[in-house]
Amino acid sequence: MDRILLRFSEENVEEPITSKVILELGIPMRIVTATINSQGGDILVEVPRIHVNKVVEAFRKKGVVVTFPKLIEVDNDKCFDCGGCFALCPVDAIKYDKDYSIVFDEKTCIGSPCGLCVDACPARAITLVEQQRNNQK
């Protein structure tokens, strides 16, 4: 599964674009997180890898900005592999390697709606990547 971030604007947020794409393509998608209101917002979806290109194209045609998001940034120079973050991750995106290195699976991490690990890091090595929103405030 691949993750793509759909960004809706105030102009197109009222339209049922996601449903339309699913119906047109017949491809199942899993909504991971959604931060959205009448002024627009983001939906993070998981799509089967083989269909990603088709899905991205379909959304872009309908005026949705599609990106492959980086949700979390780990500074490996700062991290000293204590593992303080490990037990806080609700989606098991943080694992110990064989040599007890801490490994972040960026594909599994759900990013800013969670962020439980960020303030638990004594090395302050983890930052959430703020997804660029529409400029309106």
Q: Residue from 96, 105, 113, 133 that binds other proteins (CB under 8 A)?
A: 96
Is residue 82 close enough to count as binding other proteins by CB under 8 A?
yes
Of residues 108 through 127, those in contact with other proteins by CB under 8 A are 116, 119-120, 122-124
**Counting every residue, how long is the chain?**
137
Q: Residue from 1, 23, 31, 87 that binds other proteins (CB under 8 A)?
A: 87
Burial of 87 (C-beta count, 10 Å sphere; 0-12/13-18/19+): exposed
User: Rounded to the nearest 5 degrees, what angle is found at the Cα of 72, between the Cα atoms of 37 and 110?
Assistant: 50
Parallel, antiparallel or unpaired: strands 30-37 and 40-47? antiparallel
Comparing CB distances to other proteins, the nearer of 36 and 115 is: 115
Q: Considering the complex, what minimum distance in angstroms separates the CB of residue 85 from other proteins?
A: 7
Is residue 43 close enough to count as binding other proteins by CB under 8 A?
no
Q: Considering the complex, what minimum distance in angstroms separates the CB of residue 94 from other proteins?
A: 9
Whole-number Å distance between alpha carbons of 66 and 121: 31
Is residue 86 close enough to count as binding other proteins by CB under 8 A?
yes
H runs (alpha helix) in 37-113: 52-61
Interface with other proteins (CB under 8 A): 80-89, 96, 99-101, 116, 119-120, 122-124
